[in-house]
Amino acid sequence: MAAGAPTDKFHGVWWIFLMLGVGTLLPWNFFMTATTYFVSRLKVWSNETAAGEEPHGVLEARFSNVMTLCAMLPLLIFTCLNSFLHSRVPQRVRVAGSLLVIMVVFLLTALLVKVPMDPPKFFLVTMVNIVIINSFGAVLQGSLFGMAAILPASYTTPIMSGQGLAGTFAAFAMICAIASGRDVEEVAFGYFITACLVISLSICSYFMLPKLEFFQFHEQQQERRQEKGEEQVNLASEADAGSGKEAASMVKIFQKIWVLALSVCFTFTVTIGTFPAVAADTKSSLGQGSSWDLYFVPVACFLLFNLCDWGGRSLTAFCTWPGEDSRLLPVLMVARVAFVPLFMLCNVQPRLHLPVYFQHDAFFAAFMVAFAATNGYLASLCMCFGPKRVLPHEAETAGAIMAFFLSLGLALGAAMSFLFRVLV
């Protein structure tokens, strides 16, 4: 911590970053848990299909794949844009503006629950909403990691923890919806209104942030560093024939953090490639008809993953082993690829190629605990370490680069998920 820095009274800044972390992923998690609602709207079709229009079965079958594509591509593109443009667009415009746009889109999505609409038009509107939410969500996420980079390393943890909490909250909502037995549209309306309320809290939290002395101090310190950035780069690169006269480039910053950036990218490639595409198709060994079969995927897959992922992300507030320079960290990242065949050999149905080797539900649950906890812990470590490997005035840019590689991992994982599922 910088000399003379005030304390974070009542951990106010920490809790605000946690709330903002929830706000980044809760909207998307609620969209995923409401898939049943979206698919049900695509089944509403007139008896006669007009010439040139697709029958509802095609739209229904393509929904998940197109949804993933419309989510991950904007996420990757806009995270990349944020990496280059974050210094040109004010932080408050990026963060508050993104939250406001996401809230408006969710409010419109909630209102559309009550509006009759033909499936093709509903399909198109839904995909446009997904594109908008993930585009602005990418700017929000990249901006938050950039903000956290100017604070002590531990302040990346609440963002990562908040994102894990968002998934846990959505998983609980899914289970409660099943238990309630209510109409799917009524449940979806509740999902979207809840998301609006959470985003409203995130907006209020963000506007409180600049008023806190702890954040003010570090923000002012960062402004001073940026003003003196040219001098600092000169001192750091005297042996480079005067190249320090120019601001540190994105490439030079990447050269300092490339191991951590590629590690977090690989981690999420493995995770999203396996979850939920493969893991969510696993069936209980107790067979159909049992009450556990109805709750198996929501509990053993979604809830267990999100709880353990959240726990792993939060653990970095107390433990940061292995260290940022340790060769063991990237080795552990690569070792997680073993989870791909392990889940494939569970009772995933339907399957065409591989045998079922781990039939019992206990195997699946054990794999899921280790899979989720290592994802949360190792990814959070990388996101904490990355901005601390560069000069102080480069930290915000480093945070944005790390956010880009996180999003790249999500996009690559989404693409790999199709291959992994086909191989089962």
> What is the reported pLDDT for 3?
61
> What is the reported pLDDT for 245?
37
The answer to whether 140 and 99 are in contact (CB under 8 A) is yes
The answer to whether 142 and 402 are in contact (CB under 8 A) is no
Quickly list DSSP for 287-314: -TTSHHHHHHIIIIIIIHHHHHHHHHHH
User: What whole-number distance in Å separates Cα of residue 95 and Cα of residue 20?
Assistant: 9
> What is the reported pLDDT for 241?
44
> What is the reported pLDDT for 101?
94
- φ and ψ at residue 30, rounded to 5 degrees: -70, -35
∠ CA 280-282-286, nearest 5°, is 135
One CATH from 3.40.50.300, 1.20.140.10, 1.20.1250.20, 1.20.58.110 for 11-45+55-227+246-423: 1.20.1250.20
User: What whole-number distance in Å separates Cα of residue 136 and Cα of residue 116?
Assistant: 27
> What is the reported pLDDT for 51?
47
Domain range list for the chain = 11-45+55-227+246-423
Query: Mind spelling out the 3-state secondary structure of 324-346?
Result: CCCCHHHHHHHHHHHHHHHHHCE
Respond yes or no on whether the N-terminal peptide bond of residue 350 is cis (omega within 30° of 0): yes
> What is the reported pLDDT for 382?
93
The answer to whether 105 and 423 are in contact (CB under 8 A) is no
**Which amino acid makes up residue 279?**
A
> What is the reported pLDDT for 231?
56
User: What whole-number distance in Å separates Cα of residue 257 and Cα of residue 182?
Assistant: 49
Among 257, 388, 363, 231, which residue's Cα sits nearest to residue 304? 363
The answer to whether 4 and 218 are in contact (CB under 8 A) is no
User: What whole-number distance in Å separates Cα of residue 395 and Cα of residue 397?
Assistant: 5
Tell me: the pLDDT tens digits for 128-149?
999 999 999 989 988 898 888 8
pLDDT in single tens digits along all 424 residues of the chain: 556 678 999 899 999 999 999 988 888 888 877 777 888 888 754 444 444 454 446 677 667 767 877 888 888 888 888 777 777 888 889 999 999 999 999 899 999 998 888 888 999 999 999 999 999 998 998 889 888 888 887 888 899 899 889 989 888 888 887 787 778 888 888 888 888 898 999 999 999 999 999 999 988 887 777 666 545 555 545 444 454 433 447 888 899 999 999 999 999 999 988 988 888 889 998 877 677 888 898 899 989 999 999 999 989 888 888 988 888 999 999 999 999 999 999 999 888 889 999 999 999 999 999 999 999 999 999 999 998 888 887 888 888 889 889 989 988 988 888 889 889 8
The answer to whether 177 and 166 are in contact (CB under 8 A) is no
Give this prediction's pTM: 0.79
